[in-house]
Chain A
């Protein structure tokens, strides 16, 4: 696997096919935890971490269990089971082994258990026929794309809170949804980007 193809995969996951703004996966934490930049970064890092690990584990389960038994059709159910147990385990492990990391990521981890971006990345890895290394890179960079999007969006929302000239009917979630749409349009502009 050449260096260019890694860059191309990473750029694709972060900008061109951003999980939130282009693929529309993982919208609920994107809207729910983006009120301040501090929590947004925490959530983004937690998602990045879980997406990377989930890609790895799901790929192994697929190759070791589902393909030999010819059970590819049950992929979605199995992945949900794997991811939710995995997140629980990571939470427990972090609490014991890395209390500092647990305090910054811990409260967001249970929210990710059923995050569709995590399930999405595991399924897309199989759909696109990625090998193990590609899957992990795609998972981590997909998470970084999530981090970029939620960080930009939380900045916009902090700014919106301060500017008082939002019409009364648009305060809070409505204006957040409108600005999320505009941000998504902006990211659509990356669709022309290609690395040969």
Chain B
């Protein structure tokens, strides 16, 4: 009786120990056989990158960007969050010169949606996409304006986007230029602009002036008074909306003075 118990215990020990040894051996052999060559520089670049995984560089997270850099598929200065410092570090790892990193920030091209009329009170999900899919394309009378439910604000990893009195605003000092909010806005109201003092048109309405006048207090009428005020002919009116050509703009601010609707902002 005791003999068979000892035998059983011995069998269990042998089976489990044996299986463990076999699997351990197989795994260590497999780890050699299936080893994947990883570029050392890739690991180093991942360490240097901010690790926000925001996707501002156009790749799926920092690891994917690091892989693309070591593959030579991407430039070293694509990380807008890290800016010049990170570009310099990545360039050092790769052993090449870093290019210039332009600081870009988001800007919401609608400043007047709080003054704009509402068709009805919207009660539903706090999400711009579902508001836009509800009756009449959302509660706002102006079909180009910001609904103000803050889908962009929730997407921003840096807390740079806030909704103030019905319209989203981007804090340009907090903004890292990751462009996540751009795709979060169903109306594509957020565009990326250069950081710095420049007049910005805070309206996206392509409706005729008479229509805009009824719907919103701050909407661009497209009458071209800003274009006439500009000493450098940098402003043109395209589809009833003033568009600024920043290659000609000197940032003098005369357009903002002349705009009777106050929809040109000097930031």
Contact = CB atoms under 8 A, between A and B. Distances in A.
Interface of A: 61, 65-66, 69-71, 74, 77-78, 81-82, 85, 88-89, 92-93, 95-97, 159, 162-164
Contacts of A95: 34, 36
Given A71-B11, A74-B16, A81-B19, A164 B30 contact: no
A179 to B, nearest CB: 16
Contacts of B19: 61, 65, 78, 81-82
B31 interface: yes
A61 B36 CA distance: 30
Chain A binding surface SS class: helix
Nearest to B126: A164
B15 A74 contact: yes
B30 A81 contact: no
Chain B binding surface SS class: helix
Contacts of A71: 8, 11-12, 15
Contact of A93 (B20, B30, B127): B30
B16 A81 contact: yes
Given A74-B15, A81-B20, A89 B36 contact: no
A163 B12 contact: no
A69 B189 CA distance: 71
Nearest to A85: B23
Contacts of B24: 85
A89 B126 contact: no
B252 interface: no
A82 B18 CA distance: 12
Interface residues of B, number: 21
Contacts of B15: 65-66, 69, 71, 74, 78
Nearest to A66: B15
Contact of B34 (A66, A69, A96): A96
Contacts of B96: none
A50 to B, nearest CB: 16
Interface in B13-28: 15-16, 19-20, 23-24, 26-27
B210 interface: no
Contacts of A92: 27, 30-31, 34
B261 to A, nearest CB: 34
Contacts of B11: 69-71
B125 A93 contact: no
Contacts of B127: 162
A82 B16 contact: no
A163 B30 contact: no
8 contacts: A71-B8, A82-B23, A93-B30, A93-B34, A96-B33, A97-B34, A159-B125, A164-B126
Nearest to A161: B154
Nearest to A159: B125
Contacts of B16: 74, 77-78, 81
Contacts of A78: 15-16, 19
A19 B34 CA distance: 33
Given A92-B31, A92-B34, A163 B8 contact: no
A74 B126 contact: no
Given A65-B15, A74-B16, A81-B19, A89 B27 contact: yes
Nearest to A74: B12
Contacts of A61: 19
Rank and list the top 9 A-B pairs by shortest CB-CB distance, nearest first: A85-B23, A96-B34, A92-B34, A162-B125, A74-B12, A164-B126, A162-B127, A92-B30, A69-B11
B46 to A, nearest CB: 15
B34 A88 contact: no
A149 B119 CA distance: 40
A162 B15 CA distance: 53
A99 B126 CA distance: 38
Nearest to B20: A81
B27 A88 contact: yes
B138 to A, nearest CB: 16
A89 B24 CA distance: 10
Given A95-B34, A96-B36, A163-B126, A85 B27 contact: yes
